[in-house]
Amino acid sequence: MKPVDPRDNASDVARHLQENGHVAYFAGGCVRDRLLGLAPVDYDIATDATPDRVKALFPHAISVGESFGVMLVRRGGHTLEIATFRSDGLYRDGRHPETIRFGTEIEDAARRDFTVNAMFEDPVSGLLIDHFNGRADLDDRVLRAVGDPAERLSEDRLRVLRAIRFAARFELEIEATTAAALRSDHTLEGVSRERVGGELRRMLSDSTRVRAVELLESFALDLAVLGTARPSGGGHPALKGLAPENREPIDGLAAWMLDREDPADRTSIRALRDGLLLSNREERRLESVLTLVREVEDGWERASMAQRKRSAAREEFTTVVELVRGRDAGFGAGVMSDLLELEATGIAPDPFLSGEDLIGAGLSPGPDFKQILDVTYDAQLEGDLETRAEALAFALKIARRAQGDG
Ligand code: ATP
Ligand code: MG
C-alpha cells in the first residue's frame, strides 16, 4: 500500500469536518513549519465542532483529555489531533488551566503561546488565518508571546522552555518584552521534571543545541534545568565539538557538563538523573561518555595499543572523540590519526580464543579463565599474536605459569 502523504491525510480530515458544516483548520506548529519550508512532524486540527460532533463524524475517534476537547483520529497510518476551539480559564498552578470552555477561533488563537505558533491555515482554500501577526514575526525571525508576555509566561512556565527551544531551533530573536518576562522568573515553578527533561532533550538533540544552551544560560535557566548554576566561562568547546546534526540528547548533555566543568562523579550524575528523569540507559551512557573522555584525555598518550583499541571499540567512542577534539583540537587530531593506525590491525577483531578452546586444550574451567582470555586478547590487540595457534600456545603458557605459581 502506498503510504498516505500526512498533509493530504490531514486535509481530508479537515475537509470532512468542513463538508459537515464546521470550521476546521490546520493549527499551530504545522502551519509554522510549512511557512518555514520544513516538513511538519504532525498535523493538528482546530475546529468549532465539539468533541461529540467529532465523535459522530469520526466514529473511531478516541478522546484524550476530554475536558480539553481533544480527540485523536487514526487515519492513513497517522494520528491526528482534533481540538475544539477553546479558551483557557485561569491558571492556578503555573502549568494547567483551572477550567476551559469551548470558545471562538480568535480565543483559540489567543490561548496559544507565541505568535508564530498561533496561526491557522485552511487546508481546503489554502488561506492563512493569522490573528496575531505570526507571519510577519516569522518573516522577521521574531519570537513574541501572544498577549502580555509576563502574564502568559507566568500562567504556564513550560512556555519559558518552549521559548528557548523555538528561538534556538528556528533562529528567532526573542522580542524585548517577551525576553524581559523570561528574565523576570527563572524558577520553572510548577513544571514537572518530565516536561523539563523532555524540553531539554529536544533542545540538546537538535543541531541548534549550542544556541539553546547559550540562551538557557543567558536567561539564567541552567539552575532550574540542571539543578546547579555554573558559569561556562570558557565558552562551549565541547558542545561545539559535536557534529551539528541531530543526535542523542545525552551526548549534548555530556558536552554541556564538560563545558560547565561539572564533576562527573556518581553523585552529580545521580542528581541529574533524578532532576531530568533520565532512563537507566541514558544514565549509563552519560556516565560512560564522561568517564571515557577523562580516560582518553588523561591516559591516551601512555596507553598501550590494546588499551587504546579497547577504548576505541566502545560504542561511545565517536562521540568522545568529537568532544575531545572540541576541547583541544591538536590533541583530538592526534587521537584521530592514532585511530587510523589502530584500524589498520583491526580495532575489535573477533577473539582468536574462547573458553571452549581452553577446555578443548585440556584446561579445566575455572575462575582464571576470564583473565587468561583477557590477557590473550590484549596480546592479539597489540598485534603480538597473528593466528589461533599462536594464541592457544600463548594462553597455555599463561595457564601453566598460573598453575606453577599456585
Ligand atoms: P513542535 O511539535 O514542533 O515542538 P508545536 O508548536 O507543534 O511544535 P506542540 O507542543 O505540538 O508544539 O503544540 C501544538 C500547538 O499547541 C503549538 O503550536 C501552540 O499553538 C499550542 N501549545 C502547545 N503547548 C502550549 C503551551 N504550553 N501554551 C500555549 N500554547 C501551547
Ligand atoms: Mg507539534
Q: Distance between alpha carbon 254 and the CA centroid of its chain, in Å?
A: 12
Please tell me the distance from the alpha carbon of residue 39 to that of residue 11, in angstroms, as a whole number.
15
First to last CA, the chain: 69
The confidence band for 230, taking pLDDT boundaries of 50, 70 and 90, is confident
Position 196, amino acid: V
**Closest C-alpha to ligand 1, atom 8:** 29
Sheet strands (E) in 49-127: 62-64, 70-75, 78-84, 86-88, 100-102, 120-121
Please tell me the distance from the alpha carbon of residue 33 to that of residue 42, in angstroms, as a whole number.
10
Please give the distance, rounded to the nearest whole angstrom, from the Cα atom of residue 28 to the centre of ligand 2.
7
| C-alpha cell read off for 294 | 577523562
Q: What is the dihedral of CA 395, 400, 401, 406, to 10 degrees?
A: 130
Pocket test for ligand 1, best of 113, 129, 138 (most atoms within 8 A of CB): 113
Residue 148: pLDDT above 60? yes
Please give the distance, rounded to the nearest whole angstrom, from the Cα atom of residue 41 to the centre of ligand 2.
7
Please compute Rg for the chain using Cα positions: 28
Please give the distance, rounded to the nearest whole angstrom, from the Cα atom of residue 249 to the centre of ligand 2.
19
The confidence band for 89, taking pLDDT boundaries of 50, 70 and 90, is confident
71-80, 100-109, 123-132, 259-268: range with highest mean pLDDT: 123-132
Residue 401: pLDDT above 90? no
Cross-strand partners of 102: 86
Sheet strands (E) in 92-139: 100-102, 120-121, 128-129
Closest Cα to residue 310, out of 255, 384, 380? 380
Residue 382: pLDDT above 60? yes
Residue 50: pLDDT above 50? yes
- pLDDT value, residue 66: 62
Give this prediction's pTM: 0.89
**Sign of the dihedral defined by the CA atoms of residues 241, 244, 250, 251, in that order:** negative
Q: What is the pLDDT of residues 96-105, one digit of tens each?
A: 777 778 899 9
Please give the distance, rounded to the nearest whole angstrom, from the Cα atom of residue 119 to the centre of ligand 1.
11
Q: What is the pLDDT of residues 154-179, one digit of tens each?
A: 999 999 999 999 999 999 999 999 99
Geometric angle at alpha carbon 262, from 260 and 266, rounded to 5°: 155
Please give the distance, rounded to the nearest whole angstrom, from the Cα atom of residue 257 to the centre of ligand 2.
29
The confidence band for 402, taking pLDDT boundaries of 50, 70 and 90, is confident
Please give the distance, rounded to the nearest whole angstrom, from the Cα atom of residue 42 to the centre of ligand 2.
6
Q: Distance between alpha carbon 267 and the CA centroid of its chain, in Å?
A: 23
Burial class (CB in 10 A: 0-12, 13-18, 19+), 96: middle
SS3 190: coil
To the nearest whole number, what is the mean pLDDT of the chain?
92
- pLDDT value, residue 298: 96
Q: Which ligand neighbours the alpha carbon of 33 most closely?
A: 1
**Closest C-alpha to ligand 1, atom 27:** 159
- Cβ < 5 A residues, ion ligand 2: 29
- pLDDT value, residue 76: 82
Residues with CB under 6 A from ligand 1: 28-29, 41, 44, 112-113, 117-118, 156, 158-159
Position 142, amino acid: V
- pLDDT value, residue 406: 45
SS3 38: coil
Residue 393: pLDDT above 70? yes
**Cβ(123)–Cβ(14) below 8 Å:** yes
Which has the higher per-residue pLDDT, 170 or 5? 170
Fold of the 1-137 domain: Beta Polymerase; domain 2 (3.30.460)
Please, how many CA atoms are within 13 Å of residue 296, restricted to the half-sphere of its CB?
33
- pLDDT value, residue 1: 59
**Closest C-alpha to ligand 1, atom 6:** 29
Q: What is the pLDDT of residues 331-374, one digit of tens each?
A: 999 999 999 999 888 888 999 999 999 999 888 888 888 999 99
DSSP state of 172: P
Q: What is the number of the ligand 1 atom nearest to the C-alpha of 156?
A: 27
Residue with cell 523532555: 198
Please give the distance, rounded to the nearest whole angstrom, from the Cα atom of residue 278 to the centre of ligand 1.
23
**Closest C-alpha to ligand 1, atom 12:** 29
Query: Residue ranges of the domains in the chain?
Result: 1-137, 288-344, 355-402
Closest Cα to residue 85, out of 27, 18, 131, 132? 27
Residue 15: pLDDT above 70? yes
Q: What is the pLDDT of residues 239-285, one digit of tens each?
A: 999 998 878 999 999 999 999 999 889 999 999 999 999 999 999 99
Residue with cell 606453577: 404
